[in-house]
């Protein structure tokens, strides 16, 4: 992968991934659950959270998001939507946006974090576009398509994390 993730603190490694979409009820909680599940199996110790650029505080994940995750054996019933803040972006060692518009907004609210802002779709070899489609208002099949777009990016993201974890750990030795 042609990216390089620069640590924002000395000797920092990827410890906290923040995933951002619009309302924090569909794509970002879906990606949070799927990525956390994948990381628990292969890269434990990395914290994953999510937020939205236009989120109403405290709402649950959409019923279709919960159903899609349940199909994969992932429970996200405790999720509550939250509005992204500059502090959240600055605290994260990696920020994954669902669209280029999201990334642009994040760069505006946390300009010192630009080197840590990526599109999730950048990690997918199958991506026809870099934006992850918004399933909001669609049926369960539309949510499955969004899930599939997210799942397609996870192996590339995990490779990226392993490379950066190895680079950071090697530099700290």
Catalytic residue among 47, 63, 112, 134: 134
26 noted as active-site residue: no
Catalytic residue among 26, 27, 82, 116: 27
Contact 15, 47 (CB under 8 A): yes
Strand arrangement, sheet containing 94-97 = 47-52, 16-21, 94-97, 117-119
Q: What gap in Å lies between CA 16 and CA 162, rounded to an integer?
A: 14
Catalytic residue among 6, 12, 21, 112: 21
Residue whose C-alpha is closest to residue 6's, from 86, 83, 113, 130:
113
159 noted as active-site residue: no
Residue 41 to residues 44, 46, 76, 123, Cα–Cα distance (Å): 7, 11, 17, 19
21 noted as active-site residue: yes
Residues with catalytic function: 21, 27, 134
């Amino acid at each position: 992968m042609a990216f390089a993730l620069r640590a924002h603190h000395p000797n920092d490694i990827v410890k906290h991934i923040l995933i951002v979409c619009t309302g924090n009820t569909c794509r970002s909680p879906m990606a949070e659950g799927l990525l956390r599940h994948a990381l628990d199996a292969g890269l434990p110790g990395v914290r994953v959270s999510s937020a939205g650029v236009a989120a109403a505080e405290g709402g649950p994940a959409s019923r279709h998001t919960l159903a899609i995750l349940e199909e994969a054996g992932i429970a996200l019933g405790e999720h509550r939507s939250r509005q992204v803040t500059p502090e959240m972006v600055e605290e994260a060692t990696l920020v994954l946006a669902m669209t280029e518009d999201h990334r642009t907004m994040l760069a505006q609210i946390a300009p010192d974090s630009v080197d840590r802002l990526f599109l999730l779709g950048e990690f997918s070899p199958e991506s026809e576009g870099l934006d992850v489609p918004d399933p909001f208002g669609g049926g369960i099949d539309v949510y499955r398509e969004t899930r599939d777009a997210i799942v397609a990016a996870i192996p590339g993201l995990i490779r990226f994390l392993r490379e950066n974890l190895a680079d950071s750990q090697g530099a700290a030795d």
